[in-house]
A and B are shown apart, each in its own frame.
Chain A
Amino acid sequence: AQSVAQPEDQVNVAEGNPLTVKCTYSVSGNPYLFWYVQYPNRGLQFLLKYITGDNLVKGSYGFEAEFNKSQTSFHLKKPSALVSDSALYFCAVRDWGYGQNFVFGPGTRLSVLP
């Protein structure tokens, strides 16, 4: 079975500092990995995805994520955090060997402090 873990419920970072939101996964086949962001009382917005190719994936709003197969991780990063980045972030995985649906992590709440 496929699963996703986001080990931190909450991440706090000062504005202008780099941020990292962690994600680890478990799949039986090739992983296809996604990051989404959710603002209060809104739907999820797609940020980026890893299918194949370069391990560093660039996405929307200056976010990027690094795929690490040996550590089964897909951490979300941004070089300089903004207060407006404060939101709930979800990592998700699809496993071709398992099925065609997403499995979402529990979410990490990011707070960027001015």
Chain B
Amino acid sequence: DGGITQSPKYLFRKEGQNVTLSCEQNLNHDAMYWYRQDPGQGLRLIYYSQIVNDFQKGDIAEGYSVSREKKESFPLTVTSAQKNPTAFYLCASSSASGVVETQYFGPGTRLLVL
């Protein structure tokens, strides 16, 4: 899992509640990414950021929000607008947004709805 940490490992959300997933990297990577993993569907991109103070929507951004105030941090907020948030969430980073750069992943956060 390299130098990428995600917390918490498990997170429980009550209906109508916003929750924030943490992602921190000490690899000095410029680009960071958030993916959602559901069984049998592979990984789907939620948001990505290529530089500080800039981020772009991925394929399934509705109901999620992010910020990138520091190079090493890229928190993801799951809002109450996300009606089916139960999933495994993975954060990744890469040294640049160039096409050949490998993405490295954190250990993941499993979000469950109470």
Contact = CB atoms under 8 A, between A and B. Distances in A.
A83 to B, nearest CB: 22
B1 A101 contact: no
B100 interface: yes
B105 A41 contact: no
Given A34-B102, A44-B90, 17 more contacts: A32-B99, A32-B100, A43-B1, A43-B106, A43-B108, A44-B43, A45-B1, A45-B105, A49-B102, A51-B100, A90-B42, A101-B33, A101-B58, A102-B103, A104-B42, A104-B44, A107-B42
A42 B9 CA distance: 10
B104 A46 contact: yes
A20 B50 CA distance: 35
Interface residues of B, number: 29
B107 interface: yes
Nearest to A102: B103
Identify which of B4, B43, B92 gathers the most chain A CB atoms within 10 Å of its CB: B43
Interface in A30-58: 32, 34, 36, 41-46, 49, 51
28 contacts: A4-B42, A9-B40, A32-B99, A32-B100, A34-B102, A36-B105, A41-B110, A43-B4, A43-B6, A43-B107, A44-B90, A44-B92, A44-B105, A46-B103, A49-B102, A51-B100, A94-B100, A95-B99, A96-B99, A100-B99, A101-B45, A101-B58, A102-B43, A104-B35, A104-B44, A106-B41, A106-B42, A107-B42
Interface of B: 1, 4, 6, 33, 35, 40-45, 48, 50, 58, 88, 90, 92, 97-100, 102-108, 110
B31 to A, nearest CB: 8
Interface string A1-29: 00010000100000000000000000000
Contacts of B40: 9, 106-107
Interface in A80-114: 90, 94-96, 100-102, 104-107
Contacts of B42: 4, 90, 104-107
